Amino acid sequence: MFKLPISLDDVAIRHLLEALTESGQAISIYDAEDRLRYANKTYQGIFLKGYEGPLTFTDILRYGAKNGIGVRIDGGDVEALIARTLPRRRSTPRKSFETDFMDGRWFWMDHTILPNGWVLTVGADITALKQNEKTLRKAHEEALQASRTDLLTGLPNRRHILELLDGALAGNEPATSGLCVAIIDIDRFKAINDTYGHDAGDMVLQHFANICRERLRSQDQIGRTGGEEFLLLLPGVRLNEAARIIDRFRADFPPPNVTQAPPDCPTLSAPASPRL
């Protein structure tokens, strides 16, 4: 079995340094006083563009913050970052973490404390992985939202509004004092569909959904439970106030641009009940 030599000769060391210098990984070595003693081209390109010193860890961070390079700092307060980082910098012999830089790249950093107190950091570019992760997260969020949303009206669908009701009744949703629940039905809706077609019926449903979005408070919830039926959740209101809210819906219904014979004019039925 081939055994690697324990020590390297000068030629091997020279070639090793050349390989490290040209590596796409960001490699740095800081001494026990946190002075930068070695940085390859990738590390220099991230942290040292045009910088000539002093080459201490904190001065390099301050230079990056001033010139828009290096680590992205939440809130932009480099002194707060330094205060958080220094006590942890040598707290464990080895740690790994991800960080993002001002140029938009993400790196996975391996941070090792050597026996002599020096610090070796090796960073690998994981930007492509983060972008894939972001794409997958966005796709998941969109799929989750679609599974909860009624396609025609854009309101919560039956499953989601019933989940919200269960949460409110169980006390899992933010609430003040009380909860009123109303079942809203668009009267004569079948006659609209039969007489004027499903496009007219769809427009009536969409108009009602728009009224709800305009008139309801941010904490209120309404969802389509099926056909022309809707479930309305009004936290923190009494029954008489709930009735006034529903009356405001009636004032804007039916849609002004739906012209049908008076017997077919859609209206709203909305019995409301306080939480028991």
Residues 149 and 225 in one domain: yes
Residue 5: is its pLDDT beyond 80? Answer: no
Element (H, E) at 113: strand 106-113
Phi, psi angle pair for 231, to nearest 5°: -115, 125
Q: What is the pLDDT of residue 268?
A: 60
Q: What is the pLDDT of residue 80?
A: 95
Residues 151 and 260 in one domain: yes
Residue among 124, 94, 131, 129 nearest 107 (CA): 124
Residues 104 and 219 in one domain: no
Residues 118 and 188 in one domain: no
Residue 201 lies in a domain: yes
Q: What is the pLDDT of residue 12?
A: 81
Residue 243 lies in a domain: yes
**Which of 30-44, 230-244, 245-259 ranks highest by mean pLDDT?**
30-44
Residues 240 and 188 in one domain: yes
Residue 68: is its pLDDT beyond 90? Answer: yes
Is the backbone of residue 213 left (phi > 0), alpha (psi -120 to 50) or beta?
Answer: alpha
DSSP 76: G
Single out the residue in 99, 130, 161 at which a domain terminates.
130
Percent of the chain with pLDDT over 70: 86
Residues 20 and 76 in one domain: yes
H helices present in 151-263, as ranges: 158-170, 189-196, 198-215, 239-251
What is the CATH classification number for the domain harbouring 214? 3.30.70.270
Binned at pLDDT 50, 70 and 90, residue 276 comes out as very low
Residue 214 lies in a domain: yes
CA distance 36 to 57: 7
Single out the residue in 78, 100, 130 at which a domain terminates.
130
Residues 161 and 50 in one domain: no
Residue among 140, 78, 127, 77 nearest 99 (CA): 127
Single out the residue in 77, 99, 130 at which a domain terminates.
130
Q: What is the pLDDT of residue 261?
A: 42
Q: What is the pTM of this model?
A: 0.57
Residue 5 lies in a domain: no
What is the CATH classification number for the domain harbouring 113? 3.30.450.20
Q: What is the pLDDT of residue 262?
A: 42
223-232 pLDDT, tens per residue?
A: 999 999 999 9
CB atoms closer than 10 angstroms to residue 193: 17
Binned at pLDDT 50, 70 and 90, residue 163 comes out as very high
Residue 1 lies in a domain: no
**Among the listed ranges 78-82, 235-239, 243-247, 257-261, which one has the minimum average pLDDT value?**
257-261
Residue 82: is its pLDDT beyond 50? Answer: yes
Q: What is the pLDDT of residue 247?
A: 83
Residue 135 lies in a domain: no
Phi, psi angle pair for 22, to nearest 5°: -90, -5
| Domain range enclosing 176 | 145-274
Residues 106 and 174 in one domain: no
When pLDDT is averaged across residues 98-123 and rounded to a whole number, the result is 95
Residue 137 lies in a domain: no
**Which of 117-126, 165-174, 206-215 ranks highest by mean pLDDT?**
117-126
Q: What is the pLDDT of residue 173?
A: 52
Which residue has better confidence, 170 or 93? 93
Residue 3 lies in a domain: no
Residue 2: is its pLDDT beyond 60? Answer: no
The DSSP result for 239-272, as a single string, is HHHHHHHHHHHHHT-S-TT----GGG--EEE--E
When pLDDT is averaged across residues 177-191 and rounded to a whole number, the result is 85
What domain count does the chain have? 2
When pLDDT is averaged across residues 7-14 and rounded to a whole number, the result is 79
Residues 91 and 183 in one domain: no
Residues 195 and 240 in one domain: yes
CA distance 203 to 261: 17
When pLDDT is averaged across residues 30-45 and rounded to a whole number, the result is 95
Residues 62 and 149 in one domain: no
CA distance 215 to 20: 64
Q: Do residues 109 and 122 lie in contact, with contact meaning Cβ atoms separated by under 8 Å?
A: yes
Phi, psi angle pair for 178, to nearest 5°: 95, 165
Residues 150 and 265 in one domain: yes
